[in-house]
Amino acid sequence: MQVPELPGNETARVATLRSLNILDTPRDNRFDRYTRITARIFDMPIVLISLVDDGRQWFKSAEGLDVEETSRDISFCAHAILGDDVLEVPNARRDPRFFDNPLVVEQPRIRFYAGAPLEAPNGHKLGTLCVIDRVPRQLSDEEKAMLKNLADMVVDEMISSADTETGLANRDAQMLTGARCLEKGADACKLSMLLFDISDVFASPADTDLQKPGTIFAELLRENFPVAKSIAHLGGHHFCVLLKEDEAFDDTLAINRLCADAKESLHYDGNDGSLSIFVGCVQYDAANYNSIDDMFGEADGMFSRHEKQPLAKRRGRRRLVDRLVSWRKTIY
Superfamily classification of domain 171-331: Reverse transcriptase/Diguanylate cyclase domain (3.30.70.270)
Average pLDDT (26-49) is 95
* pLDDT > 80? residue 153: yes
Determine the pLDDT at residue 311.
41
Instruction: pLDDT band for 175, please (50, 70, 90 cuts).
Output: confident
Question: What whole-number percentage of the chain has pLDDT above 70?
Answer: 83
* pLDDT > 90? residue 139: yes
Residue 330 or 287, more confident: 287
Fold of the domain built from segment(s) 10-160: Beta-Lactamase (3.30.450)
- Tell me, what DSSP letter sits at residue 54? S
* pLDDT > 80? residue 329: no
What average pLDDT does the structure give for the chain?
84
Determine the pLDDT at residue 308.
63
Instruction: pLDDT band for 11, please (50, 70, 90 cuts).
Output: very high
Residue 37 or 188, more confident: 37
Instruction: pLDDT band for 205, please (50, 70, 90 cuts).
Output: very low
Residues 302-317: tens digit of each pLDDT? 888 776 654 433 333 3
Angle between helices 251-265 and 320-331 (to 10 degrees): 150
Determine the pLDDT at residue 316.
38
Determine the pLDDT at residue 330.
42
Determine the pLDDT at residue 267.
58
Q: Where in the chain is the domain with CATH 3.30.70.270?
A: 171-331
Is the pTM of the predicted complex or chain greater than 0.85?
no
Residues 221-279: tens digit of each pLDDT? 999 999 898 899 998 889 999 998 888 999 999 999 998 888 888 755 444 445 578 88
Determine the pLDDT at residue 188.
54
| Helix segments in the chain, DSSP class H | 10-19, 29-42, 77-80, 102-105, 141-160, 171-182, 186-189, 211-224, 251-265, 292-307, 320-331
Per the CB < 8 A criterion, the answer to whether 218 and 258 are in contact is no
Residues 71-103: tens digit of each pLDDT? 999 999 999 999 999 999 999 999 999 999 999
Determine the pLDDT at residue 206.
41
Determine the pLDDT at residue 299.
87
| Torsion angle (degrees, nearest 10) of CA 5, 10, 15, 18 | -10
Looking only at the bridges linking them, the beta strands covering 112-119 and 56-63 are: unpaired
**What is the three-state SS of 156-185?**
HHHHHCECCCCCCECHHHHHHHHHHHHCCC
Q: Where in the chain is the domain with CATH 3.30.450.40?
A: 10-160
Lowest-confidence pick of 32-46, 81-95, 174-188: 174-188
Residue 71 or 165, more confident: 71
